[in-house]
Amino acid sequence: MSLRNPIIKEMKQRVYEANLALPQYGLVKLTWGNVSEIDRALGVIVIKPSGVKYEQMAPEQMVVTDLAGNPLEEDGMKPSSDLSTHVILYQAFEKINAIVHTHSTHSVMWAQAGRDLPAYGTTHADAFYGTIPCTRQLTEEEVKSAYERNTGQVIVETFQERQLAPTEVPGVFVYGHGPFTWGETPAKAVENSLILDEICLMAKENEKINPAMQSIPQYLLDKHYYRKHGMHAYYGQK
């Protein structure tokens, strides 16, 4: 496979643009975030380089790896330190094509609190079908042995134990760490990250106004989620 493949060039451009969107949307400060995209047929992942400032990035600096996370460009930059987490999620969640990780303020609040995010309203239900989970805390051994890989594993474990579909709940909080979101494209994964941060802020303020807040009823959750998703979706233009 040639790394000059036009598909890889297009992936690098999409991943670059999606990474730039993170500070534009106020989802990252400094270099606290990354976006990746996978092409399973081609056998590659493209991800942000580690520690590079957003204003200094260029599309050609996006790092190309194989599906196990091994860099494929001899003179390429170091990939994001979160690459192993992305690899595990791509292996387990076969229907997702892009992943975003940020340290966005409101989402991190929920992650640090170790709390799931209930579906308090229809803004939540438009993108996430029900409660957004928070993982358990990683053990000391999990952190010391293979931290980023085990971060991915604890996300997968959470979805398996709760019998959640990653396509229906495209995001998670890692206890004490922060959010990961995903989607069909890098742009969609970033959109889910933005929505997640907004509904975290809404939920926090809701609980101040009404400490006895409860999730919206199932019929309202169903209406708002399925009018945008699935076979019978009717929101937007054809």
In a domain, 233, yes or no: no
Q: Over the Cα atoms of the chain, what is R_g?
A: 18
Q: Distance (Å, rounded) from C-alpha 152 to C-alpha 161?
A: 14
Render pLDDT for 157-198 as a digit per residue (tens, 0 to 9). Answer: 999 999 999 999 999 999 999 999 999 999 999 999 999 999
What percent of the chain clears pLDDT 70, i.e. is strictly above it? 99
Burial of 192 (0-12, 13-18, 19+ CB in 10 A): buried
Mean pLDDT across the chain: 95
In a domain, 1, yes or no: no
Q: Give how many domains the chain has, as a whole number.
A: 1
Q: Which residue has the tokens 């996978």?
A: 38
Q: Is the distance from CB of 118 to CB of 131 less than 8 angstroms?
A: yes
pLDDT at 24 over 70: yes
CATH at residue 187? 3.40.225.10
- Phi, psi for residue 146 in degrees, rounded to 5: -155, 70
Measured between alpha carbons, how far is 228 from 114 in angstroms, rounded to an integer? 29
φ and ψ of 92, to 5 deg: -90, -35
DSSP state letter for 55: G
pLDDT value, residue 1? 60
Judge whether 238 lies within some domain. no
| Residue 171 lies inside a defined structural domain of this protein | yes
- For residues 50 and 79, is the Cβ–Cβ distance under 8 A? yes
Annotated active-site positions, please? 126, 235
**Structural domain range at position 148:** 6-228
Q: Is the dihedral of CA 138, 113, 29, 88 positive or negative?
A: positive
Could you list the beta-strand ranges (E) of the chain: 33-39, 44-47, 63-65, 98-102, 171-174, 178-183
Residue 2: the pLDDT is 64
Question: Are the CB atoms for 12 and 60 separated by under 8 Å?
Answer: yes
pLDDT digits (tens, 9 = 90+) for 194-224: 999 999 999 999 999 999 999 999 999 999 9
Residue 235 belongs to a domain: no
Q: pLDDT tens, 115-166? A: 999 999 999 999 999 999 999 999 999 999 999 999 999 999 999 999 999 9
Query: pTM of the entire structure?
Result: 0.95
Please report, for residues 74, 178, 189, the alpha-carbon distance to residue 102 in angstroms, rounded to integers and kept in the order given: 28, 7, 11
- Distance separating alpha carbons of residues 64 and 41, to the nearest angstrom: 14
